[in-house]
Amino acid sequence: MEQTFIMIKPDGVQRGLVGEIISRFEKKGFSLKGLKFINVDSAFAEKHYADLSAKPFFHGLVEYIISGPVVAMVWEGKNVVVTGRKIIGATNPSESAPGTIRGDFAIEIGRNVIHGSDSVESARKEIGLWFPDGTVPWKSSLHPWIYE
Ligand code: GTP
Ligand code: MG
């Protein structure tokens, strides 16, 4: 089944939003397949955001991501990439709808609490980068109550 990479950024950790964010993905019905609480260095953050290296905010983005520990996760479920992005909300919190994570908990684009892969292909790459030793294979016993 489809997987996505979700990261709670350092501001989300510092602000005590870890439980709330995990809860939103769990309650939706998605399955947690990988979870790590780590500090990353700038070389790693640059790799993760390599597609944005030409942007003027790139340096600030890397400094932000390495400013404290992050929660790196793999979530699995039908359409989890697109639905995960909907749960997260628009990149700029001033445009994210109330009810989304960024809409509810963030104000500025440079402190937007959470990352989610933007495509199945990016998810595959990001999961490979963050979880090189693989994820945890298991199947929730609630599967038949969530999927028809
Ligand atoms: P991620 O899930 O973090 O990848 O965000 P996104 O996919 O919604 O947006 P994108 O990949 O384009 O940008 C990555 C991150 O860079 C954003 O989440 C922001 O934290 C930051 N960012 C994007 N655009 C800007 C900007 O114009 N200014 C600043 N300061 N940060 C930006
Ligand atoms: Mg992105």
If you take atom 4 of ligand 1, which residue's CA is the nearest one?
A: 115
Q: What count of other Cβ atoms lies within 10 Å of the Cβ of residue 113? A: 22
* Residue range 90-115, pLDDT digits in tens: 999 999 999 999 999 999 999 999 99
E strand or H helix at 14: helix 10-14
Ligand 1 site, residue 90, Cβ cutoff 6 A: no
Residue with tokens 């602000």: 15
ipTM for the complex?
A: 0.95
**Active-site residue set:** 115
Q: On the CB side of 9, how many CA atoms lie within 13 Å of its CA?
A: 22
Kindly report the pTM of this predicted structure. Answer: 0.97
CB 10 within 8 A of CB 62: no
Cα–ligand 2 centroid distance for 122 (angstroms) = 9
Q: Is 4 annotated as a binding residue?
A: no
- By residue count, the chain amounts to 148
Q: Report residue 38 as tokens.
A: 């780590």
If you measure from the C-alpha of residue 112 to the centroid of ligand 1, how many angstroms do you get, rounded to a whole number? Answer: 8
